[in-house]
Structure formats: structure tokens, C-alpha cells
Amino acid sequence: MRPISEKRIELERQTGKHKLRGGWKGLFRWEDMDWLERQIEKGLRFCGFYRLGFRNLFDFCVEEAELSFPNLPDAFDGLRLLWVSDFHIEPLDGLAESLVESLRPIRYDIAVLGGDYAFHYDLTEIAVERTRQITETLLSRGAVYGLLGNHDRYEMGLLLEAWGVRMLVNEEAVLEKDGQTLSLVGIDDCHYYKSDDLAAAVAGLDGDPFRILLSHSPEIINKALPCRIDLCVCGHTHGGQVCLPGGYPPVVCASVPRRYAKGLWRHNGMTGYTSRGIGASGIPVRFCCRPEITLLNLRCLR
Ligand SMILES: [Fe+2]
């Protein structure tokens, strides 16, 4: 795992107090309005909806998508990539155990932990222990790659790596099979810390391999275009987390149009998938937006 940038080190010291936007714009940015979240939480508790929303966090589903590419090397035809992210695990008693049970029957080849393991910006023992529980289950079944999200401390990345996860912080990992290669490019958080460095991540790549970009947030999409990324997989948005019936998200905490906030999308020729993730931030509830284990099946299009 590469060391994180000076910028991220400094912002991590501020433990979430750094505003994403200064001035009057910061006053109306959802992620900077803790006071409003607390009022909504009180309202939900008063109306009896809080418990329902909390229960919804345990209603995982497996979202499978088959994605075909003309340039996917034959050796990787049928590769199954599992993505789980955004646990925000501390307030969710029992979630780690439920998730482990849901993961057991799923067949996959490689697993990716997409970041935001913690709920709080300070790293707590409970976040570490519960993340370890999920991670060990995945590690017992094969290679696991990991990213840092905007709720994570560098120390969490070091712990994940010590447990056996290959952390990708502005770096790539090359998979080889039958003499063919595929590149996994992982970048640091581009949402809050803005410490992504895609140019550095792809600098060492020889030739023109099939490239999968792993990013905590879809806000990387425009920077990804010049790097000839074949597939971009991300999370962070929680699919809106609290949606209207039918799944429309009134709030998406990412500077991207809503069509990139969940599920499959295309952006100027690049295929992408944004996972709704597992947990919840702000208020630990979900409505009309089930938590998701993502399973992408990559196929050769010939
Ligand atoms: Fe996030």
C-alpha cells in the first residue's frame, strides 16, 4: 500500500471537521449539515419509522450483472468480481454476522472492499473488529483487494493490509492467467480527501491491458476517460440511501448526475457500475434502497 498524500494526512487530522465547501455553499451541503440529520433522526424516531429504516439495513440483496467487452482477454472470460463497500459498521449491531452469512454461498473469483468501513471519522475498536470479521471471511476464499473511502483512516488501510488485503491506493495490481493480463487500478478517495492520483496509479502499466478502475466514489469518471479504462466500479453513494418509492434518490452525496449514483451506467464509452453498498451514513436507516452485494460477471464479446 502506498503512503497517503500529505493533503489526506492533514485532513485526517481534522477528523471530519473539514467542510467540503466553504462560504454559503457549505451551509447547504447535506454532508455538512449534521444538525439537520439529527433533527430528521428525531422525527423518524417520533413517527416510528426509525426502527423500520434500521431493519432495512439488514435486507441485503445480491445484484448480479453480466458485462461483455470485446477486448477482455480470453483467460478472464467469466471472471466474477465481488464488490462490497460502505459498511459504516459501528452502529449496526449484528450486521457483520448477517453479511458474512449472506456472502458464504456466493461464488466469485476476486473480492474488492470498496471503502467506508467505519461510520465515525475516528477509528474505533468496534469498527476494526467488525471489519476484520467480514474481511477474514473473504480472505478465507481467495484474493481480496481494498480501497480507502472518505470515512476511513490510513490506520484502517494498514490493518487491512496486515490481515492480507492488497490495498490499492493510487496503484495497480496486475492479474495474470494463461499468459494474459488484466489490470486492477485502485485510487484513493476522490470525494472528501480528493487524494486520488490516477496518473500515478497507471504510470507503471506496460502495454495496453484490460483495465478495471476501482474507485470509492463515481466522482472519478471524468478523470478516468483519458486513461482508457474499460470498466469502472465504485460505491459511496449508497444509491441515495433514503429514496422515494420507485427508488428515486432525492439526495446523492456525490458531484455526479443521478444516473451514475447506482447500478450500471455508460460514460463516453466507458462502462461503469455504482454499488448501493451495505450500510448507511448520517442516519443509520435506509428506505426504498436495499443494501447491495455486487457481483459482476465479465464476459468476452466476440
Ligand atoms: Fe463514502
Gap from CA of 254 to ligand 1 centroid (Å): 9
Burial 60-95 (b: 16+ CB within 10 A, else e): beebeeebebeebbebbeebbbbbbbbbbbbebeeb
- Domain extent for 188: 24-300
**How many structural domains comprise the chain?**
1
Q: Give the global pTM.
A: 0.92
In a domain, 12, yes or no: no
Ligand 1 centre distance from Cα of residue 190 (Å):
10
Distance, CA of 266 to CA of 287 (rounded, Å): 26
Residue 148 Cα to ligand 1 middle (Å): 9
Nearest to 233 by CA among 140, 118, 147: 147
The per-residue pLDDT for range 80-104, each reduced to its tens digit, is 999 999 999 999 999 999 999 999 9
The Å distance, Cα 25 to ligand 1 centre, comes to 20
- CATH number of residue 178's parent domain: 3.60.21.10
Amino acid at 172: E
Q: How far apart are CA 198 and CA 217, in angstroms?
A: 13
Q: What is the mean pLDDT of the chain?
A: 91
Q: 187-208, pLDDT tens digit by residue?
A: 999 999 999 999 999 887 777 7
Q: Judge whether 175 lies within some domain.
A: yes
- Which of 4-8, 213-217, 223-227, 266-270 has the lowest average pLDDT? 4-8
CA of 149 to the centre of ligand 1 (A): 5
Range 230-239 average pLDDT: 97
Q: Per the domain annotation, does 135 fall within a domain? A: yes
Whether 17 is covered by a domain: the verdict is: no
The predicted pLDDT at position 15 comes to: 67
Alpha helix positions (H), the chain: 6-13, 23-27, 34-47, 49-56, 95-103, 125-139, 154-163, 198-202, 221-224
Tell how far the Cα of 234 is from the centroid of ligand 1, in angstroms. 10
* The pLDDT of residue 59 is above 70: yes
Residue 7 is assigned to a structural domain of this protein: no
d(CA 68, CA 11): 39
From ligand 1's centre to the CA of 205, what distance in Å? Answer: 27
Q: How many angstroms does the Cα of residue 81 sit away from the middle of ligand 1?
A: 20
Answer whether residue 9 is part of any domain. no
